[in-house]
Amino acid sequence: MYERHHYIAGKDVEGTSGRFGPIFNPSIGQQQGKVALASKAEVESAIAAAEAAFPAWSGTSVVKRARVLQNLVQILYREKDALAEALSMEHGKVFSDAQGDVQRGLKVAEFAQGIPHLLKGEYSDNVGGGIDMYSMRKPLGVVAGITPFNFPAMIPLWMSCMAIACGNTYVLKPSEKDPSVPMMLAKLWAEAGLPDGVFNVINGDKEAVDTICTDPRVKAVSFVGSTPIAQYVYSTATAHGKRCQAMGGAKNHMVVMPDADLDQVADALIGAAYGSAGERCMAISVAVPVGKQVADKMVEMLTPRVEALKVGHCMDMDAELGPLVTADHMAKVRGYLDLAEQEGSDVVVDGRNFKYNMQGYEDGYYLGGSLFDNVKPGMRSYREEIFGPTLQIVRAETFDDAIRLPTEHEFGNGTSIFTRDGDTARAYANNVEVGMVGVNVPIPVPLAFHTFGGWKSSAFGDINQHGMEGVRFYTKTKTVTQRWPTGIRSGAEFVIPTLNS
């Protein structure tokens, strides 16, 4: 049984609150460790460490900051598999998928290496009367990240690489379900040459989150997690004068037009709905075939493939998906599957009775893949996020009916359309009320140099993750109006300067 504590000011720090949370190994269904849950005072000490480190780090030349990111990229490549294995053992996602989790975070580190270019301001010379005007991007100070269980490498890296490259100092509050990878990242940052106190990890629960959201020294909070907590963090942090971005839950639809390549569609749906046991905010959880013919054909093609999904231990290299993260989460998903049946949708494949026959793994948090047909928009199991290995089919008669579903849904994270028709694809991409759209691409997760963020109840706040939006989130603009040489006199002016001389 191992323990995870905190990392503050460049040191491992033992938790003193006396409170712990369990860390499970979902593949065998046993507790394997415990994580210290920080008290308010412990969070405050992490914030104080970050505050103390801010003057020197923000004053470090942008080229030197970039060099730390360059080092980190090399170290992350070296440690990718070790991170992925630690991640799999606490999260349950299969090893190859965990490698992808690390890789996606690494890509943001690579993007952040270009921070000297990304931080360039604007300059206008001689805007009038010997006056030049320029703007620069300044770091905010201490900023914090609060992250979910489902991407314990990618999301802390999304946030911290951009924040730190911009010159801020950082407090990370990762998910208490899989804290090991964030703690490993702290060591890797240090090895990359990051000074003590710039990157701190505080493990904890609501007490830690509340402290971060209310402490006046924290200037910005980036949150990713479920919608109710995203809403809570957004309202609390903004009420305390902080900049906040809070990404929430999802229900992502994939529209299948009658002209789509159905083999491609079946591959796309199997991977996007069941990969990572459906525990992705960009998982496709709803398929919307347009027309009866395509719907019937799709069900016929998907059924044997869902039945044949290889569910297994996270380190079984043949497994396509692993267990759910905890027994509680498995029970919640199972509850939604029961609800979907009670609400009258057709159970085409039932993953609830999946039994893992390998000795030693019987208690793992496994569900097989489930497939529901004839799901209706009024059903609660359709309106809410399930976050498990299941796909719901909502049949639509026309393209207009199909686009209305994601558009009118409470969530608006991602969506995709499969079609061979450019007009239809273009109309979908332009008009659907969702933040990230794929065309013949099942999981449209933007790369690091673009920006990630949903709409409606999938994201609160105006500025997205990474890309140039990341630079904007972690900086504030200062604009300087200067006159050189100083000898120019225009006399006292009592009207607002228009600089048109």
Residues that bind ligand NAD (CB under 6 A): 146-151, 173, 175-176, 205-206, 209, 224-226, 229, 247-250, 281, 385, 387, 413, 454, 458
> Measured from the CB of residue 123, what is the shortest distance to ligand NAD in angstroms?
35
Nearest to ligand NAD of 101, 350 (CB atom): 101
Of 246, 243, 253, give the one whose Cα is nearest residue 283: 253
Of 219, 173, 234, 225, give the one whose Cα is nearest residue 199: 173
**Token representation of residue 67:** 């060099």
> Measured from the CB of residue 273, what is the shortest distance to ligand NAD in angstroms?
14
Nearest to ligand NAD of 45, 458 (CB atom): 458
Nearest to ligand NAD of 202, 260 (CB atom): 202
Q: Is the peptide bond before 485 cis (omega within 30 degrees of 0)?
A: yes
* H or E stretch covering 329: helix 327-342
> Measured from the CB of residue 449, what is the shortest distance to ligand NAD in angstroms?
17
* Spatial separation of the C-alpha atoms in residues 391 and 278, rounded to whole Å: 9
- Could you count the other beta carbons within 10 Å of the beta carbon of residue 315? 14
> Measured from the CB of residue 176, what is the shortest distance to ligand NAD in angstroms?
5
> Is 281 among the residues known to form the active site?
yes
3-state secondary structure of 472: helix
CA 33 vs CA 22, 133, 179: distances in Å: 6, 57, 10
166 secondary structure, DSSP code: T
- Could you count the other beta carbons within 10 Å of the beta carbon of residue 216? 10
The pairing of strands 218-224 and 142-146 is: parallel
Nearest to ligand NAD of 85, 205 (CB atom): 205
* Spatial separation of the C-alpha atoms in residues 279 and 283, rounded to whole Å: 7
Nearest to ligand NAD of 252, 370 (CB atom): 252
Catalytic residue among 161, 213, 244, 281: 281
Provide the sign of the torsion angle of the four alpha carbons 321, 327, 329, 331, taken in this order.
positive
* H or E stretch covering 79: helix 62-91
Of 331, 371, 332, give the one whose Cα is nearest residue 351: 371
> Measured from the CB of residue 323, what is the shortest distance to ligand NAD in angstroms?
15
* Spatial separation of the C-alpha atoms in residues 275 and 273, rounded to whole Å: 6
> Measured from the CB of residue 226, what is the shortest distance to ligand NAD in angstroms?
3
Positions marked catalytic: 281
